[in-house]
């Protein structure tokens, strides 16, 4: 590569590709450095492969356990061919990674370079040993799997999310550490295909900000299918007795002993910053290694910006691309502009799904906002009843004074799609009274919002 580039983007994941495109569209020449295979976490080992596995697992579960609810009988056996499931997933992922590469290769202003890159100064570094200088840079190096230090934990027992995406035979029993999105989704994948699965998390109420009742109903709904979920874990340790492995844990004063064959560690990831020599670039990181950024996504070095998981703001794809694009633009502007705040919808793609956008009630109260909140169960919604999908619920939070909708959280069939209705409402800062004016198709699950908001506006 040339020794000088206008804009250096580190990492060709989602944030990096969006940053590179944005800077190039404003006339700059960009060098996009990637140290691994092209595509990034979402395409290669994250969102897409996990969802490609979840779909057949959910259908398998439905066919194996839930046909009677619909009055259907399966005359014969349904089998899950895990090798075929993984092979089909790999072929889809390969195509997606190729498409991502080709769309960057078409852009004359972006050159792809193979890393790794390390900084040697505020506007310089080495790429594969060669010195490189840059006008501006974006750090978008993402994250890597983190293995927690638990006494007695043997690395040979461990499966990571990367391993689960490639498994071609199922362990008999799996202990999942961590009830976050990755632990629940891939834990349920293994469970739906036939493993015995126990998920353990140290948090007592599943998640500190979510509505306690709704969050626990969601967790209960998952565990009612047979996947054990233990929250509020204390004094965790491992024990072995010959080939037998056991996890000993205290839950609300009671000791549980869980035998397992494999452990799926889903306790989070750490930022990929250690190898970058950020100190030489005068880029500060927090105690976990996340890059510090201001409202313009600028690091402590005014020539360098950062976006995506490496910032530790919220490790989701939609924010990585949104921030990537803004970081890319800010590298070109003479005076960088703060990134407009947007509602960030998130989802957990279990069966049933969980989704949320905006503020939860506790977050609104923490900000001293006067809150009005309403709830509705899917069991009160006609379409959920006729679909035999009554497990689920919705909570909406609004400002009690201005009546602006502040947030919504829900679980149930289609939650990851339905939540966009509230995302649009939040984006346009709709009030419950304005939403009340909107007509909905009957019967639909979307009517859940209408029914609840009608109730909140006291209009019926």
Ligand X SMILES: Cc1cc2nc3c(=O)[nH]c(=O)nc-3n(C[C@H](O)[C@H](O)[C@H](O)COP(=O)(O)OP(=O)(O)OC[C@H]3O[C@@H](n4cnc5c(N)ncnc54)[C@H](O)[C@@H]3O)c2cc1C
Contacting positions for ligand X (CB under 6 A): 10-16, 33-36, 40-42, 46-47, 50, 115-117, 140-143, 161, 182, 272, 275-276, 308-310, 315-318, 320, 349
Within 378-450, strands assigned E span 392-399, 405-412
**Minimal distance in Å, beta carbon 348 to ligand X?**
8
Instruction: Find out whether 4 and 134 touch, Cβ atoms under 8 Å.
Output: yes
**Minimal distance in Å, beta carbon 413 to ligand X?**
17
**Minimal distance in Å, beta carbon 15 to ligand X?**
3
Nearest of 40, 43, 77 to residue 60 by alpha carbon: 77
Residue 142 or 171 with smaller CB distance to ligand X? 142
Q: What is the CA radius of gyration of the chain?
A: 24
**Minimal distance in Å, beta carbon 16 to ligand X?**
6
Residue 110 or 369 with smaller CB distance to ligand X? 110
Q: What are phi and psi of 445, to 5 degrees?
A: -75, -25
Nearest of 247, 255, 95 to residue 173 by alpha carbon: 247
Residue-wise DSSP of 189-203: HHHHHT-EEEEEES-
Tell whether the torsion through CA atoms of 348, 206, 412 and 398 is positive or negative.
Answer: negative
Residue 36 or 393 with smaller CB distance to ligand X? 36
Residue 117 or 206 with smaller CB distance to ligand X? 117
Q: What are phi and psi of 21, to 5 degrees?
A: -60, -45
**Minimal distance in Å, beta carbon 159 to ligand X?**
12
> Residue 354 belongs to what H/E stretch?
strand 353-358
Q: How far is CA 96 from the centre of its chain?
A: 19
**Per-residue tokens: 434:** 């304005």
Q: For residues 89 and 56, what is the distance between their CA atoms, to the nearest angstrom? A: 10
Residue 16 or 352 with smaller CB distance to ligand X? 16
**Minimal distance in Å, beta carbon 117 to ligand X?**
4
**Minimal distance in Å, beta carbon 185 to ligand X?**
7
Residue 41 or 177 with smaller CB distance to ligand X? 41
**Minimal distance in Å, beta carbon 110 to ligand X?**
14
Cα separations in angstroms, 435 against 89, 95, 430, 447: 40, 41, 7, 12
Burial 46-76, CB ≥16 within 10 A → b, else e: bbbbbebbbebbbebbeebeeeeeeeeeeee
Residue 140 or 174 with smaller CB distance to ligand X? 140
Residue 171 or 374 with smaller CB distance to ligand X? 171
Q: For residues 15 and 13, what is the distance between their CA atoms, to the nearest angstrom? A: 6
- Output DSSP code: residue 69: G
* Residue with smallest beta-carbon separation from ligand X: 13
**Minimal distance in Å, beta carbon 13 to ligand X?**
2
Residue 277 or 390 with smaller CB distance to ligand X? 277
Cis upstream peptide for 116 (omega within 30°) = yes
């Amino acid at each position: 590569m040339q020794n000088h580039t206008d804009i250096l983007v580190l990492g060709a994941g989602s944030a990096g590709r969006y940053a590179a495109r944005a800077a190039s569209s404003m006339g700059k020449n960009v060098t996009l450095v990637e140290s691994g295979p092209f595509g990034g976490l979402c395409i290669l080992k994250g969102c897409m492969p996990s969802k490609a596995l979840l779909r057949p697992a959910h259908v398998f579960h439905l066919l194996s356990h839930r046909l009677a609810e619909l009055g259907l009988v399966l005359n014969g056996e349904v089998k899950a061919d895990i090798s075929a499931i993984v092979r089909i997933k790999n072929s889809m992922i390969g195509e997606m990674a190729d498409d991502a590469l080709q769309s960057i290769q078409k852009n004359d202003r972006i050159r792809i370079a193979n890393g790794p890159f390390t900084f040697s100064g505020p506007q310089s570094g080495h790429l594969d040993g060669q010195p490189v200088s840059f006008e501006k840079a974006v750090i978008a190096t993402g994250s890597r799997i983190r293995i927690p230090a638990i006494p007695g934990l043997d690395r040979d027992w461990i499966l990571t999310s990367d391993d689960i995406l490639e498994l071609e035979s199922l362990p008999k029993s799996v202990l999942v550490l961590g009830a976050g999105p990755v632990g629940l989704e891939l834990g349920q994948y293994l469970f739906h295909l036939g493993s015995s699965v126990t998920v353990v998390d140290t948090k007592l109420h599943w998640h500190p900000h979510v509505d306690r009742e709704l969050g626990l109903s969601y967790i209960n709904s998952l565990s009612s299918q047979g996947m054990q979920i233990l929250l509020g874990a204390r004094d965790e340790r491992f024990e072995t007795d010959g080939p037998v492995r056991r996890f000993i844990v205290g839950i609300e004063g009671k000791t549980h002993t869980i035998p397992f064959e494999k452990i799926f560690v889903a306790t989070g990831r750490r930022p990929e910053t250690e190898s970058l020599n950020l100190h030489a670039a005068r880029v500060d990181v927090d105690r976990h290694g996340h890059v510090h950024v201001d409202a313009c996504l600028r690091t402590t070095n005014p020539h360098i910006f950062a976006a995506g998981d490496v910032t530790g703001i919220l490790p989701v794809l939609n924010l990585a691309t949104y921030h990537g694009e803004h970081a890319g633009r800010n590298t070109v502007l003479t005076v960088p502009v703060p990134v407009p705040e947007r509602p960030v919808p998130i989802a957990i793609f279990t069966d049933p799904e969980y989704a949320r956008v905006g503020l939860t009630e506790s977050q609104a109260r923490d900000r001293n906002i006067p809150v009005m909140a309403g709830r509705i169960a899917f069991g009160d919604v006609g379409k959920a009843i006729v679909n035999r999908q009554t497990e689920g619920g919705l909570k909406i939070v609004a400002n009690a004074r201005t009546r602006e909708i502040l947030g919504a959280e829900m679980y149930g069939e289609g939650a990851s799609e339905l939540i966009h209705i509230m995302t649009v409402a939040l984006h346009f800062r709709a009030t419950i009274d304005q939403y009340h004016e909107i007509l909905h198709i009957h019967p639909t699950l979307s009517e859940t919002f209408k029914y609840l908001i009608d109730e909140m506006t006291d209009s019926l």
